[in-house]
Copies of this chain bind each other. A is one copy, B any other.
Amino acid sequence: MAGTDGKPVIGTMEELSAAIGVSRPTLSRYFQDPGRVSRASAERIRRGLERVDYTPNFFATRMNRRSTGMIGVIIPYLNDLHFTKLLEAIEVAAMEAGYTVITQCSHSSPEVEARAAETFLSMNVDGAVVAPLGNSSDLDAHERLNARLPLVLVDSRPRTLEHVDFVGSDHPQSTGLIIDYLCRLGRPPVFLAMPRVNFNALEREAAYTARMEALGHVPEIVGTEAVEKDWHFEAHGHAVMDREFARGTLVDRSILCVNDRVAIGALCAAARHGLEPGARRRGGLRIAAHDDYPLGPYTVPSLTTVAQDVDSIGKAAVSRLVAKIRGDRGASAHLVQLFDGALRVRDSA
């Protein structure tokens, strides 16, 4: 069998050994680190590899190594740029640290999420970074993962997993930031929440309430019930605000949306009702949110929000995981690392 490049395809190290006249174990060492064989052998092997098409078998190499050099990543959804940004940061950081990343997506299903965790265990990954699904997650599965390998949770932090290392955003800080900004320029904001399926959403809701009370304002929350069956973030934001605006309520308020995707729906509802949210119209409708979704600068009007430092979160999670894998001192202690949000003032509030 020959590849299209004409090189003969070689299946095993044994064959390769015969083909270029170097013993198999020497080849094994060469592939792990060319510096571990003599200069002469390395050169000979290199020249040999130019003439044939061979890659060591992924499974056989991983089976016996102390370390597989792989880390597993689980994210809940793919259809959300917030998570894809996070995943990208994690993958890049892991690649730079020399790890092979195996990504699994829960696709909103606790069963799939639990199965992914099992897969990682059976693959002997060196460690795992998990962004949990939320309330519906199979927490036992995460618990088992944590018991058997280095694990770092990111983005969202289930209450029963508070003893697991976590890297995420400081929601009281970030939410406080945008609330203070909104209060400084106008009436205290109403919170556009969402059904309680997500820890981050809950944390932000709680942070909103706390901050409002600290400022002496009365918290007002809308949208905790699902207005539509099979709702998505944008659809939810649109449905809730469409209902409000149709009633003539909230049309002159500041709305703080639980996240940017909900805000996109809210902005759409505002436009449909002829409303023009914006900071420049004092006393009028303003819409702000949380996350800094990549499309925020391009909504109409562009979206005022508070940015999560997703890039740093991804990097920090990997760096923490690598430390745990290497058994660095300090890595056995429990760590919670929270990043500050940053205000992004644009046109919508």
Which residues of A82-106 are within 8 A (CB) of B?
84-85, 87-88, 91-92, 95, 100, 102-103, 105
Asked, given contacts A87-B78, A103-B103, whether A124 binds B271 with beta carbons under 8 Å apart, the answer is no
- Interface flags for A1-37 (1: CB within 8 Å of B; 0: not) read 1011100010000000000000000000000000000
Asked, given contacts A59-B62, A84-B84, A88-B107, whether A3 binds B148 with beta carbons under 8 Å apart, the answer is yes
Chain B residue nearest to A119 in the complex (CB)? B58
The interface stretch among A175-183, A297-305, A324-332 is A297-305
Cβ–Cβ contact B264 & A295, under 8 A = yes
Q: Which residues of B contact A4 (CB under 8 A)?
A: 140, 143-144, 146-147
A268 at the interface (CB under 8 A from B): yes
Cα of A103 to Cα of B143 in the assembled complex, Å: 25
Q: Which residues of B contact A234 (CB under 8 A)?
A: 294-295, 297-298
Q: Which residues of B contact A144 (CB under 8 A)?
A: 3-5, 53
A265 at the interface (CB under 8 A from B): yes
Chain B residue nearest to A103 in the complex (CB)? B103
A55 at the interface (CB under 8 A from B): yes
Q: Which residues of B contact A3 (CB under 8 A)?
A: 144, 147-148
A121 at the interface (CB under 8 A from B): yes
Chain B residue nearest to A85 in the complex (CB)? B79
Cα of A107 to Cα of B1 in the assembled complex, Å: 32
Asked, given contacts A92-B107, A144-B4, whether A122 binds B57 with beta carbons under 8 Å apart, the answer is yes
Q: Is the interface of A mostly helix, strand, loop or mixed?
A: helix
| Sample of 17 further A-B pairs with CB below 8 A, known A1-B148, A268-B298 | A4-B143, A4-B144, A53-B144, A57-B124, A58-B122, A58-B123, A58-B124, A59-B124, A78-B78, A79-B84, A81-B81, A100-B119, A102-B102, A103-B103, A234-B294, A238-B298, A268-B302
Cβ–Cβ contact A60 & B58, under 8 A = no
Most buried by B among A5, A60, A298: A298
A80 to chain B, nearest CB (A): 8
A320 to chain B, nearest CB (A): 21
A226 at the interface (CB under 8 A from B): no
Q: Which residues of B contact A102 (CB under 8 A)?
A: 102
Asked, given contacts A62-B59, A92-B107, whether A79 binds B143 with beta carbons under 8 Å apart, the answer is no
Cα of A58 to Cα of B104 in the assembled complex, Å: 15
Q: Which residues of B contact A62 (CB under 8 A)?
A: 59
A203 at the interface (CB under 8 A from B): no
Asked, given contacts A9-B148, A58-B123, A84-B84, whether A264 binds B298 with beta carbons under 8 Å apart, the answer is yes
Cα of A297 to Cα of B265 in the assembled complex, Å: 9
Chain B residue nearest to A87 in the complex (CB)? B78
Cα of A258 to Cα of B62 in the assembled complex, Å: 44
Cα of A9 to Cα of B149 in the assembled complex, Å: 13
A56 at the interface (CB under 8 A from B): yes
11 contacts between A and B (CB under 8 A): A55-B121, A58-B119, A59-B63, A60-B63, A79-B88, A84-B84, A264-B295, A267-B300, A299-B299, A299-B300, A300-B300
